[in-house]
Structure formats: C-alpha cells, structure tokens
Chain A
Amino acid sequence: MLKETLLLAKNIRTDGYDGSLEAYRRAGGYTALEKVMKSMTPDQVIEVVKASGLRGRGGAGFPTGMKWGFIPKDRKPTYMVCNADEAEPGTFKDHFLINNDPHLFLEGMILGSYAIGCNHGYIYIRGRSVRPAQRINEAIEYLYKAGLLGKNILGSGFSLDLTVHRGAGAYICGEETALLESLEGKRGQPRVKPPFPATHGYNACPTSVNNVETLACVPFIVKEGAEAFKKIGTPNNYGTRLVGISGHAAKPGIYEVAMGVSMKQIINDLGGGVRGGKKLKAVIPGGSSSNVLRPEEIDIPFDFDSVAKAGSMLGTAALMLFDEDTDIVELAYRTILFYNHESCGQCTPCREGTFWLRNLVRDFRENLGDSQKLERIGRVSQQMFGTSLCALNDAAAGPIKAFVTKYPEEFKKHFI
C-alpha cells in the first residue's frame, strides 16, 4: 500500500494545524530563514538549491537553482515573482498550500528573493481567488509585524517587501511572460523570447518567476541540505509532488508522494481507484495540457522523465481519472473549449486553430462527425503543433491529437 511522503504537507496533515504564523513557527518554520540571514550568502543559497536538483513545479520542470543563477549580479533592481495563478484545469495543489499553509511558500519566496537580490517581490494570483488572496495578505501582514518582512530582516541588512497582485480572469497569465505583462498593467499576452525574464523580466529588470510549490520546497532544502532532498525521489527527479487527484476518483484530493513512485499505485492506493467500482477509461496525468493515457499505459513511475517517456507530461501533477462511462468526445470538447477560450489570440495558429478544432470537435458532440472530420482534427492539431509563440498552442493541440489518436472508436460513435 503506497503511503504519502510528507515534505510540504507535513504541517497540513498535523491535527489542529491552522497555517497561522504562530503555528508555522511552532512547527519549525522560518528557521531556514534565520539560518540564512545569520550564516549564508546569496550565492550559497543558490548553490544549495542547485545541488538539490530541484525542478520547477509550475509545469516545465526547469531547474530552479539554475534559473536563479541566471540572474545577473550587476543589475538592480531584480525581482522575484511567485506564480500563484494556478488555472490549469485539474490543478489545485498551489491553492492547497496557500489555503492551508501559506507561510511555507512565503518563506521559500523570502529565501529566493535573498538569493537573487530582490527587494520587492510580487505574488501573482488569479483574480477569482478572492479568499486565497486575502489569506496571503493576512500572512504577509503578520510577517511585517514579526520583522520577517520589511526593512533589515532579522538584523541582516536585507530588506524585502511583498505585494499580492490579483489577475482578472485569464489562464494565459500563468505563462510567465504573460504574467509579467499583466503585472505591468497590460493585457496578458506572452512576450517574444529572447530576451528571457532572467535579463528582461518585470519592468525590464532581471526577474525570476517561480511556482508556489517550487518555492515551498526551498525551506526544507536550505534547512536540511541538498542531500536530504535528494534522498527523496529518483535521479533527476528529486523531491515530492503534490498530486491533485480529481475526476471520477473515489477519494479525490491532494496527496504528496515521492517522485518516481508508481502512478498506478497513486491512483489506486491514494486516490482509491475509480469511484463506484467502475472501470478506468482514461487518465490525464499532469493537468489538461498533458496528453491522455489509456489504462494500459499508466503503470509507470510518476516523475518528469518517465511520464514524458510515456508520451505525456508530468506538468502540474494533476491526475484526472475518467471512468468507463466517460464520453471522450465530451472530454476533448471541454478541453478545446477551454484552450479556445483562453488563447490570448495574438498568434495565428493558436487563435484560428483552437477555434477551428473547437468547431470540429463540437460537430462530434452533436453527432455530426464523419471520417473526414476525424482525419481533419488529427491533421490540424498535428500541423499547428510547435508553430506558436507560447506553449498554450501546443497544450491545446497535443491533447486533442492524443484524444483522436488513442480513442478513435469514441469519435466514431458520434458519426452522423
């Protein structure tokens, strides 16, 4: 029976824990910060994060220490921006942390800010999350009062302000350059890269954008050391993941597992399998942007590299289960509807391609499909892949291609 490995959710799983500053400190919180303020240079913080092999939990899995290392040392100001947009369908892990233990990622964010020499950080949170935004703001208020934010933190000479910035309803603002545009008071349209945020980010200054869960890993790494972190997980995939199980699971929710454990076990042992004793038809392993897996494909280690090898993506580790009664056409329709709705519209393939695919899939939903249209969905999703400015286009095209390739029989049921 697979058990959780508690690194990030340890406090949360403790009875009576309320996520307040007091509770967090009682559980050993902010000792990493104290240690760093007393005895570590910014470079040493970057080094230990590099050594830990921590990879970003926002979707792309980029090494965090390396990202921080890219920030030029001779340019000021620099900015740390926490990506708390979390709008990928199926994903709710960051909100799990924000709602239940906000100080964990805040401590990570303060450490990261120190590492890259940032004196004003921003937490970008989606607009509809009113309460979670309040939750963070309250936590920040306590931190100022406790002298853990503001001028001269713990007498170290290091100063930091944090500001919560609310979005207003646009999934694309989770993409880091769109996020920065939005933070600058503009439409959230991804930027052309290069230049990258590390040199030209917020307000054209060096910037590191990091996911909530990524930052939440940092206090542990700083406190316990890189080696302790590397004891968890598999090579190149160290640490844990907060897996959000949803869909037709018997026990939906967030579960923390060491990376590299069996995906099948996560589904069955932690998620309780399919609810109502039904059979499994499909699994989406890493949020709506990842390709669907058939039940026979899920017996793989749950880590970045293994899920990629299986032709999908670990992404946000949002595991969605779909039972035998699920209409894959409906699933595909909800998927393309989402991406069409969320395309910022600036690039041709994404703007027009998601619109066309939405129309095509809708035809199947209305039982107006035919083999030509099925072939066309495959062709268009294949050809538009890889031709756009940001990854949203591919996040739309990839899964649609996977649905028609892996479940043609489901689409055939909707022929005219």
Chain B
Amino acid sequence: MPGFSSAVMKEVEGIFQRYPRKEHALLPLIHLVLRENKGCVPEEWDQVLADMVGVSLNHVRGVITFYDMLQREPRGKHHIRVCTSIPCGLCGGDKVLERMEDALGIHAGQTTPDGMISLEEVQCIAACDKAPLIQVDDHFAQQVDPDRVEEVVAAMRRK
C-alpha cells in the first residue's frame, strides 16, 4: 500500500490540528496526494486515506469521484486548462480548445504519449475579463488567439 513520507506525515499532523475532526481533513490530505503523485489520486490510496481520517472506503471513493479536479490517471509534466464556459466559450474558447487538441494530437482529458502535456477542458476559472482564457500549470494566458495556439504549444514543447 502507498503512503506519505515522514516529512509529509508531519504536514498531515499539522493539518489535523486545524480541524475539530480528522475526517474533515480528507480534502487537504487528498491535495497532498495530488502534489506527491503527479496530480492524481491512484485508487490504491483510497484505503490509505480512509484509514488515516477514519471513514469508510465508500466515503473516500464518493468524495474522489465527486470533485472533477480529482483524477485517477497521472497528469502530464505540464497541465493545460482551457476554459470553455460562458463567457470564455463565446469569446473563442471553444476554438482555442479545438486548436489545442489538434496541436497536441489528444482530446481534452488526455495526456500526450510522451507524458509531457495533459489537456483539460474546464468551467469558468474566475478570470473572465481575460477571455478566452487558458491556464498553463498555475499561470494564466489571457485573450488567447486561437490562431496562435500552435505557437504556445511549440514554446511549451521546447521548455
């Protein structure tokens, strides 16, 4: 079974201190799993998390399948999010996504075969004045011109 390193376990103890009940710390702990596991929560972690916070296995699975950021498969080294919500979707976000899929040769929700880049279609990420918006790792790229998507991807590939 997987587990946290002793350094991370210290963080876990700190997190438990901040909540009246251990089970409330499930999401923060899942975020640690994401950080330590290429942005995903592998299924083997379900039991570990359940034991750590003292809930049932179904509770953990219920939670992980509820939140759409929580994926079972590892992400690429870089993660691109394309917003296709309103307003982004109506300001060219849908085209940005299409071009992005073409440029990367994958669909949203997939990772390039070399494990470099994963692509996600997201709902509004609260920066709508910059529509159409994409997020590359933790950085925003605003008013993305669909015609320049290929350049962005090429630049990322070079990195």
Chain A residues near B118 (CB-CB < 8 A): none
Pick from B26, B63, B123: contact of A338, CB below 8 A.
B123
Among A190-247, those with CB < 8 Å from B are: 203, 244-247
Q: Could you tell me the distance in whole angstroms from the C-beta of B15 to the nearest C-beta in chain A?
A: 9
Chain A residues near B62 (CB-CB < 8 A): 186-187
Instruction: Report the separation of the CA atoms of residues A184 and B28 in the bound assembly, to the nearest whole angstrom.
Output: 11
Chain B residues near A334 (CB-CB < 8 A): 84-86, 89-90
The answer to whether B126 touches A126 (Cβ under 8 A) is: yes
Pick from B67, B129, B138: contact of A246, CB below 8 A.
B129
The answer to whether B124 touches A90 (Cβ under 8 A) is: yes
Q: Could you tell me the distance in whole angstroms from the C-beta of B42 to the nearest C-beta in chain A?
A: 16
Chain A residues near B69 (CB-CB < 8 A): 127-128, 168-169
Indicate whether A30 reaches chain B with its CB closer than 8 angstroms.
no
The answer to whether A320 touches B86 (Cβ under 8 A) is: yes
Pick from B25, B63, B85, B122: contact of A128, CB below 8 A.
B122
**Chain B 2-21: CB-based contact to A (< 8 A → 1; otherwise 0):** 00000000000000001111
Chain A residues near B138 (CB-CB < 8 A): 130-131
Chain B residues near A344 (CB-CB < 8 A): 66
The answer to whether B90 touches A330 (Cβ under 8 A) is: yes
The answer to whether A184 touches B18 (Cβ under 8 A) is: no
The answer to whether B20 touches A185 (Cβ under 8 A) is: no
The answer to whether B129 touches A245 (Cβ under 8 A) is: yes
Instruction: Report the separation of the CA atoms of residues A318 and B128 in the bound assembly, to the nearest whole angstrom.
Output: 9
* Interface size class of chain B, counting residues whose CB lies under 8 Å from the partner chain: 35 or more
Indicate whether A254 reaches chain B with its CB closer than 8 angstroms.
yes
10 contacts between A and B (CB under 8 A): A168-B27, A183-B24, A188-B66, A246-B131, A247-B87, A252-B128, A288-B86, A322-B87, A322-B90, A334-B90
The answer to whether B86 touches A95 (Cβ under 8 A) is: no
**Chain A 77-96: CB-based contact to B (< 8 A → 1; otherwise 0):** 10000000011111110110
Closest to A284 in B: B86
The answer to whether B86 touches A170 (Cβ under 8 A) is: no
**Chain B 33-64: CB-based contact to A (< 8 A → 1; otherwise 0):** 00000000000000000000101000100110
Could you say which of B26, B81, B126 has the most chain A C-beta atoms within 10 Å of its C-beta? B126
Instruction: Report the separation of the CA atoms of residues A182 and B62 in the bound assembly, to the nearest whole angstrom.
Output: 12
Indicate whether B82 reaches chain A with its CB closer than 8 angstroms.
no
Indicate whether B98 reaches chain A with its CB closer than 8 angstroms.
no
Indicate whether A331 reaches chain B with its CB closer than 8 angstroms.
yes
Closest to B127 in A: A92
Could you say which of A89, A166, A183, A338 has the most chain B C-beta atoms within 10 Å of its C-beta? A89
Indicate whether B144 reaches chain A with its CB closer than 8 angstroms.
no
